[in-house]
Every structure is written in C-alpha cells, then in structure tokens.
Amino acid sequence: MNLTKQVRVLFLNEMEKLEKRLFRLEQGFELQFRLGPTLQGKDVTVYSNYPPPGSPYNRHKFHPLQWHNPTGREEDSDKFCKLDLQIAGSFQYRFNQSGQSNGEGYIVVDPVLRAGADDHVVHLDCITLETFLSKCLGPFDEWEDRLRVAKESGYNMVHFTPLQTLGKSRSCYSLADQLQLNPDFSRPGKTYTWSDVGKLVDKMKNEWEVLSITDVVYNHTASNSKWITEHPECAYNLVNSPHLKPAWLLDRALWHLTCDVAQGKYATRGLSALIQTDQQLNSMRGIIWEDIYPKLKLWEFYQIDVSKAVEQFRALLRSGVQKKGGKSDPKQLVIIQDPEYKRFDCSVNMDVALNTFIPNSNGPAAIEECCTWFRKRLEELNAEKHKQMNFHHEQAVNCILGTMTYERLAGHGPKLGAVTKKDPIVTSYFTYPFEEISLAEEELMMHQPDKACYFMAHNGWVMGDDPLKNFAGPESNVYLRRELICWGDSVKLRYGDKPSDCPYLWDYMRKYTEITAKYFHGVRLDNCHSTPIHVAEAMLAAARSVRPNLYVIAELFTGSEYIDNVFVNRLGITSLIRGRCDRICM
C-alpha cells in the first residue's frame, strides 16, 4: 500500500457513457470527480454505488456525493466530489444535470493480496500461476507433496480446476454437484471436506507464500446433475423456452437419421456408416434436403392457418364490426408468433386486418372480395416464413456437414470413424431421457409439459457471436441453424433477468459462490463470455461479501477490446486469460 495518498481525477463531460472505457485504481487512492468543459456552470449531481464508510456494498444502491470547494472561489473548475477507495471491486458512478441523467461510467479497484506469516503484499504484476488438474491430484492426503512442486518452482499462486463432483463425462468443467467436494479425493473410511481443503490452502498461504484460486462455472451444469432433474426449470427446456421446439424436432430427426445410417439403410444412396469421402457428404446433404426437411415441415410452426383466420375475419365483417382509425397499409399486417409454437397456430391482429381490407358495402360480394384479399396477404406472409425457414435449413446443413468434415474427414480432426449411436452424425443439442419411439410420437411429447421439461438444451460455444446476447433466447436461431459448437455433457442454465425468475438456481449458485470465496483467494470465471453478465455481477458481489479482496481472473474471448472492457468494468475483473495456453494478462 502507498504511504502517501495518491489522487486521481476523472473529468465529467456531458452525455458521456463510458461503459466501454476502463478506469483501474488502487486501494488507498482518492478519486476526484471534477466538471469538464461541457458541464461548467451547470447544476450537476454525482451518484455512486461505492459504499459510504461502514456501510455494506450494494450494487443497486446509489447515493449522492458531496461537492467540495477547498479554494472557496466560485469557479466550477475548483470544486470536486471524491471517493476514498478502501475496498476492491467494480463500482458505478452516474451524474445528473438539472435532475436529468447525463452520463455514467465504472471504476475498478484492484484487490490487495497478502501471503506469508507476515501478511506481506503480493503485487498483482508479480503473480506467477500454475494450474493443477484437480481430478488428477489423487487422494487428498497426497496433495501436499504434489503441490509443493509449485512452491519449489517459484510460483506464488496455484489454480485448481473445479474440486466439485464431476459429471459423467469426467470433464473438469462439467460439474454434477457444485456444493460437494469430489468424492474421488477420499479414501475408504476417510472422507474429506471443504474444511480440509481450507486448512491446506491456509498452510500454502502462510508457510509457502503461495495463494490459491479455483474456478466458478455459472453457465452450465452436467446433464446428469441430480438437482437439474429435480428442478428442470433451471435449464432451457421446451416448457420455459417453447421457441426451441422446432430446433428440438430437427435434433431428434438427426438422431433418427443417425440410427438409420448406422444400420445401413442409406447405403443404396451412397451413404454408408463409414463416411470417408466428400461424395458421401454430398449424399448426406441430399438426404437431409429430400427426406428430412420435407417430413419435418418446420415452417408450419411459424405460419398461420389461413382458412381459419379468413373464416374469423369473415365472421367479423358479417357481424358489422367497424374499423378503428384510418386505413392501414397491408404491410402492417404481420404474423404474430404463437408463444407455444404449435403448427399453424400463429395469428394476426384482426383490428389491423379490419382497417386494411375494408368492404365498400355490407353486401356478401363486397365481404367476399375483402376476404379474398385478406387470404392473399396471409398466403404471402406464410410464404415469407417458408422462405425464411429455407435460409435456416441451408445454414443448418452447412453446419452439419462442416462438423462431419472435421470429425470424420479432416486430418487434424478426431477421425471418429463409422456413424454409431455412440458417435452420431452430430452431437445432440438436447437431452432425451426417455425410451426411443418414432419421431411422430416424440413430437407429441414435446407439447406435454411433464415430459417436455426434461428436453433441455445443451450448452456450447457460437463462433463469432455477440457475447452480450443470449444464444438460447427467443431472439436467437442458433439451435435451429445448428450453429452451436455443442458440449453434449452439459445443459445451459436459465437464470432469467432476476432471482425471482428462477429462485432455486440463483440460491443454489450463490451458495456455491460463497463456499468458493470462503476457502480460496480468488476465482477464475469459466466461460465468462457466455455467462449472463448480470448473473456474474450478482455472484461476484456475493463472493466479495465473503472475501473483499477477491482476485478475479476471467476466460474472456470477445474479439473486441471495448466489449472486454464492459466485462472488466461490470465484474471488476483483475486479469484476463488469452490464447490456448491460458496466458494471464493484467
């Protein structure tokens, strides 16, 4: 810590939104807000959620800052309001001009890390970290000897991959139980607990001068997690996310295609189970276009029942319902998506229709003429949906064949060999925990809530996607277009916008976070770019309530320095991970 207080000045200017600009400061600094040229002589109030002395941090609670004028002169350039920075984390400031919002930004205050019996400061730019795969460390009573290698090699920080119970894939980042220590670390007759881990971490800090961090994985859980089957509302499924139904039906069709190819049913069409040539891939393209898509008719989930809608419109005209307002443009008549995504169950706004197709009289001929024009417009709208679905189909086929090329033909790929149920054409995008039945019978199941809630979307990665958008949300077609690089051992968690949207999940992950912060000096945010940023904000706030000087590393690949800054600002990230080697950047 600096013995002499250092002062940093941040000038405020009109209509500045600085979410993408990074201001990093150290504890012990004084931050002064002063009025820039565009705000001189104006009535400005500055607010911050940095807690007043003695108050707990609340990221939602803002309080006004007091203006100081040490010179006593009237010039605005002399006055300032300040924050004495004594705690680490991410903090926001806002300012109003004459009661109206005028600008905002973030400040990030670095943590102070200490180690050794004397609690000396470990400077952030001097951290050297080694990663240990926790699942490979063996029984817990053997860890100390294995971890000592890091100390003797000169490292001052150790990163443990998740220590929790792993899922069926045994991946380090597919966790089955986020609250329990991996039972693999125990021996017969000897069970270890988080308290035992904490004692080892304390010994490493105090005697070895080595700090410890571990991962927090918020975006997904293992598909065989017991708690997710007990609380399926915590995942994206066909009940809480019915927009995924067409994508799920396509996914099941691809699974049945896998079974048929594996059994040699398409050998006569040039597609054997062992795919080794581009010609076979072309055969696959033809089969999907000629056999799969025409049977699925996915466009029907986005279309309207024309005859039913025309009959409803005709009944309204015959009843003498009057139009409301002026005549509307036919282009204003659009399809309203059925929220349950049933075939031909979309609708249109009948008020708009009545304002658009207006009969010259109440006679039958005039009414029928309007119905004819109305029908034509509905058919146009349905045709647009059909055309749009064909675009999605084309992209989906390209993604399917691209995956097959990599997995089965590419020299640098895994060369999976023959198509089997174990190695399908493509990884399934959704869980399916029931016995296999026909595709037609499965489609009926997706409209039955007691079954559809267990059809959960797997998590994954979308190349080149906007990290601030939810690729599983209703505005996204990623699953339908097969653009997800899928992790078939995990399901994507669905938090919603606030804790009340999914209380069990928020509470469960908060407990997970608090356990982690209690026993470790820092966290690595796994898959940060795909984790909902408001969720990570809330969880890190909970972590810092347990350990104020929390060191935060993030696995963050956005492709943009400015988007990186949004994550760093809002989450108070200390270091970023770059490249395949997980290189840490301050």
- CATH number assigned to the domain comprising residue 197: 3.20.20.80
Question: Rounded distance, CA 493 to CA 174, Å?
Answer: 12
Q: For position 330, what pLDDT does the model report?
A: 75
Rg, C-alpha atoms of the chain: 30
Report the amino acid identity of residue 560. Answer: S
> In this structure, is residue 49 part of a structural domain?
yes
Three-state DSSP at 84 gives strand
Contact between residue 510 and residue 542 where contact means Cβ atoms under 8 Å apart: yes
- Are 216 and 250 contained in the same domain? no
Any residues with CB less than 8 A from the CB of 469 and at least 6 apart, and which?
475, 476
DSSP 204-267: IIIII--EEEEEE--SEEETT-HHHHH-GGGB-BTTT-GGGHHHHHHHHHHHHHHHHHHTTTTG
- 100, exposed or middle or buried, with CB in 10 Å at 0-12, 13-18, 19+? exposed
- Are 132 and 220 contained in the same domain? yes
**Chain segment 403-449, per-residue pLDDT in tens:** 999 999 999 999 999 999 999 999 999 999 999 999 999 999 999 99
- Are 105 and 117 contained in the same domain? no
Average pLDDT, the chain: 93
CA atoms within 13 A of residue 156's CA, in its CB half-sphere:
14
Mean pLDDT over 279-303 rounds to 97
Q: How far is CA 233 from CA 142, 242, 480, in A?
A: 40, 13, 21
pLDDT-derived band at 24 (thresholds 50, 70, 90) equals very high
**Chain segment 466-483, per-residue pLDDT in tens:** 888 899 999 999 999 999
**Residue 582 reports pLDDT greater than 50:** no
> In this structure, is residue 174 part of a structural domain?
yes
Contact between residue 359 and residue 369 where contact means Cβ atoms under 8 Å apart: yes
- Are 290 and 403 contained in the same domain? yes
- Domain membership of residue 58 as a residue range: 7-109
Q: For position 586, what pLDDT does the model report?
A: 43
- Are 323 and 448 contained in the same domain? yes
DSSP 282-311: HHHHHHIIIIIHHHH-GGGGG-B-HHHHHH
**Chain segment 248-260, per-residue pLDDT in tens:** 999 999 999 999 9
Final residue of a structural domain among 489, 509, 536: 489
- Are 72 and 118 contained in the same domain? no
Tell me the whole-structure pTM to 2 decimals.
0.92
Largest CA distance in the chain: 96
- 278, exposed or middle or buried, with CB in 10 Å at 0-12, 13-18, 19+? exposed
End-to-end Cα spacing for the chain: 18
Q: For position 583, what pLDDT does the model report?
A: 42
Q: For position 278, what pLDDT does the model report?
A: 94
Q: For position 128, what pLDDT does the model report?
A: 95
- Are 482 and 540 contained in the same domain? no
> In this structure, is residue 149 part of a structural domain?
yes
Q: Beta strands 100-109 and 17-18: pairing type?
A: parallel
- Are 207 and 351 contained in the same domain? no
> In this structure, is residue 1 part of a structural domain?
no
CA atoms within 13 A of residue 262's CA, in its CB half-sphere:
15
- Are 398 and 368 contained in the same domain? yes
Final residue of a structural domain among 458, 489, 520: 489
> In this structure, is residue 231 part of a structural domain?
no
Number of residues assigned to the chain:
586
pLDDT above 70 coverage of the chain, percent: 96
Q: For position 580, what pLDDT does the model report?
A: 46
- Are 327 and 423 contained in the same domain? yes
Question: Rounded distance, CA 371 to CA 367, Å?
Answer: 6
**Chain segment 356-379, per-residue pLDDT in tens:** 998 888 889 999 999 999 999 999
> In this structure, is residue 93 part of a structural domain?
yes
Query: For the chain, how many structural domains are there in total?
Result: 3
**Chain segment 80-121, per-residue pLDDT in tens:** 999 999 999 999 999 999 888 999 999 999 999 999 999 999
- Are 429 and 335 contained in the same domain? yes
> In this structure, is residue 2 part of a structural domain?
no
- 20, exposed or middle or buried, with CB in 10 Å at 0-12, 13-18, 19+? middle
Mean pLDDT over 266-291 rounds to 95
- Are 481 and 511 contained in the same domain? no
CATH code for position 71: 2.60.40.420
Q: For position 323, what pLDDT does the model report?
A: 67
> In this structure, is residue 121 part of a structural domain?
yes
Question: Rounded distance, CA 300 to CA 302, Å?
Answer: 5
Final residue of a structural domain among 109, 136, 171: 109
- 325, exposed or middle or buried, with CB in 10 Å at 0-12, 13-18, 19+? exposed
Q: Report the number of secondary-structure helices (H) and strands (E) in the chain.
A: 14, 23
